[in-house]
Each structure stands twice: as C-alpha cells, then as structure tokens.
Amino acid sequence: MKAKGERGNNAVEYFLLPAAGPQESFATLQEAVEAIRRLPPESMPVGTVGGSARPMEIACDRRGATLVPGRKPRYEFFVSSQAVGAGGEGTELVPWWGVPAAIEGLLRRCGEGQLKLERGQRIRLSPREVFTPSGLEKHKKWKETIAKFVLMAMTLALAIPVLMILAYLVVKAWPALSLGFILENPKNGGIWAPLVGTFSLVLISLLVAAPVGILAGVYLNEYARDNWLTRIINLAVVNLAGVPSIVHALFGVGAFVLFAGMGKSLLAASCTLAVMTLPVIITSTREALAAVPMTFREACWNMGATRWQTIRTIVLPNSISGILTGVILQVSRAAGETAPILFTGVVFSVDVADHGWESFFPYGLSDSCMALSMHLFTLLTQVQGVPDDVQYGTAVVLIALVLVVNSLSIGLRVYLRSRKRW
C-alpha cells in the first residue's frame, strides 16, 4: 500500500518486528497481520505453545527503512498465553485468547477501518499472563508506595524528636537514676513520697471516673433517645473536654474543697482529676459501644434477652478494648497534671515513713499528699541548689511511670481485642 503522493523509496510498507530472519515487508496492513500465521513456532508472539512470550509489533515506515522494536506504539493489544479459544477483546483486562484470536481481531478491526497507521506508527501485541498486574494496578501500587513512604516520613518526623528528647533526658538523669533514688524520700534525695502520691491520685481518680464515665456512655448510647436533653448532655461533654486544667482546679476548690467539705486532701484532688478526665472516658465508651454491630443486639433480643442482659453479656464484652482506650488516656493525663491538684490537695512536703508498711500507704483520703509533677515544679522553681541530675531524674521517672502504665493497659487491650468474635 502506498501513501498518497509518495513514489519509489518514499512509499510506506508494513514490517513485523522482531523479524524472524531477513526483514520482510508487506504492502498492506492485512497482509502483515496474515503473515503472523506463517511464523515459525520459536518466533511466534505470546499465546502459542513454544512461543517466545515477548511483544510483537507491526510497524509502518518507508521502503528500505531499518527498524528496531521498542518504540511507543499507536495501538497496543494484549494476548493471553494461557487461554484457549476465540474469546477476548484485546484489552489489558480482557486479552485475546491466543494468537489466532488476536489475528482474527486485528483483521476485523482492519476491515472496519478502526486500524490506520501512518509512517512511523506501530501496532503492538503484548503478553498478558494470568494473575499478573495490569498497568492500572501497577500505577495504583506505585501511588500506594509513594503514599506509604510519605506517611512513614511524617511519622518519623514526629517520632524522632520525641526519641531525641527522651534520650537527652535519660542522659542528663543517668547519674541520679538508681533504686535508692526511687525508694528514698525527698529529704534523703529520693522521690518515694511523691511517687506513691502520684500512684494514689491516679488510682483513686480512676476508681471515681471509670465507673461514672462508662455508665454515662452506656446510657447515652444504649438508652437515651435523640431529644433536646440528650443533645445538651452531649454538648456539655464536648465542652467539658475543652476546659483548661486551671479552670478544673478552681472548680475542684469550690465543689470539693469548700462545698463538699473535703478540704485540701487526696480525695479532693482525685475527684478533681476524675472530673477533668470524664469527657474522654464517656466519648471513648460511646464510640466503642457504637462500633458493636446492631445485629448482635437484635439477635440477642430475638432470643428473649432484656436490654440490660444484652448490654452486659454481648455489647460490653465486645467493646471493652475500645473503652480501655479512654481509660488509658485518663491515666496518662492524670499522672502528668499539676494545676488541678495544686490547689486541691498536693503540698510541697509531707513527712513519710522511710521503712515499713506505712511507707507504702502513707496517705489517707483526708490527708494532703505529694505528687511527682508538683515535686518537679517545686525543684525547678522553689528549691535552690538541687543538682540537675535529680531534676532530670524526677522527670524521667514520671515519664517512665506513664509509659509503663500505658504499656500494661495497651497489652490488656490487645489481649481483649484478640478475643473478639467479630
């Protein structure tokens, strides 16, 4: 076939690439397609027994041109090497079933005028093995890989500074870190009294906040109707979560120290911490309960169980891991707060026994206590001549306390989550 207006060596012809022997030219595209049938088995494209499983091209160029495979084609079709028959469409997702089906498909398109090549253009038959990723899948995988590395870089950008700060604190505190530093009282250069006080504050606030918060979350998610009262309660919980800690401290002074008559005591400070951490527990409880499929409840109700029996035996056991998330956050925040306990029960110094049973339980509910966060603030601002390693050691122990409690809670949460039935 000659292009209009071209003569002699400028006439265009069609070639099969890669050529099996001397490069043969064809006058029409249909002849080039038909020539594929006559190729020896070792030179056949994909889709035949003994074939080379490599792409084959039909190129259009001037007579006598030297051609090599590999240029970008105008048309690309796909052939499966495993399928047998006359099926397929030639696309990457639905390839032709072998070379015979590909030849018939190309001839049909040529007859319908769908395939037209100009000089320098090509048609490519590419292999498409079963279960191999398509171009779209490769592109999606490439974008997924980029997203993964970008997110990993962001995570490292957050984690590395934290690790550097922790490493710096440990290095500065290393001379003071010892068993005696933890077990001795402040008058002997240790932190035992504030450490026990912190444990007491966290434990009592947890005993107050966890039952109230969990029960409130159960009511709001399982019993309360969607009315104006429920919406007001939800709004109050959200607003309470955004109140600064110093405001909670003033509330604790008015509500617990003065109005309830607790005075500045361990109980008043613990109740103030409990009020401050209630929104987190309530919110996490509601989210955990809402995550339990409604079909679980309906199946239990159909068996004749009451609403409370369903909550107690089905809903709570399947949501306990999510509820623990709020409790973990409560523990972390309660251990590190200073302002709420500064005005409600924590003091600069308390005489604590150095040995015996009283050293493990030195504070009563009506007694003032010490706390690590307050003790660290006092060492930095009120006491002169305190070695730097003691100050850094106090900070490291406070951080380690939070990490240990969180680790234990997370381990328990993972164990409970593994026992889920869905």
Q: Which neighbouring-strand residues pair with 80?
A: 97
In this structure, the strands spanning 96-97 and 25-26 are unpaired
Q: How far is CA 66 from the centre of its chain?
A: 55
Select from 287, 266, 158, 157 the least CA-distant residue to 217.
287
Q: How far is CA 180 from the centre of its chain?
A: 41
Q: List the structure tokens of 321.
A: 């891991």
Is the separation of the CB atoms in 338 and 377 below 8 Å? yes
Q: Confidence band (pLDDT; 50, 70, 90) for 364?
A: confident
Tell me the average pLDDT across 120-127: 83
Q: Which domains does the chain have, with CATH numbers?
A: 8-132 (no CATH), 174-418 (1.10.3720.10)
Give the Cα separation of 90 and 87 in Å (integer). 9
What is the pTM (predicted TM-score) of this model?
0.66
Does pLDDT of 242 surpass 80?
A: yes
- Give the 3-state secondary structure of 294-311: HHHHHHHHHCCCCHHHHH
Q: Confidence band (pLDDT; 50, 70, 90) for 147?
A: very high
pLDDT per residue over 59-97, tens digit each?
A: 888 876 767 777 788 888 888 866 666 777 778 778 888
pLDDT per residue over 35-56, tens digit each?
A: 877 777 666 655 444 445 678 8
Give the Cα separation of 120 and 183 in Å (integer). 86
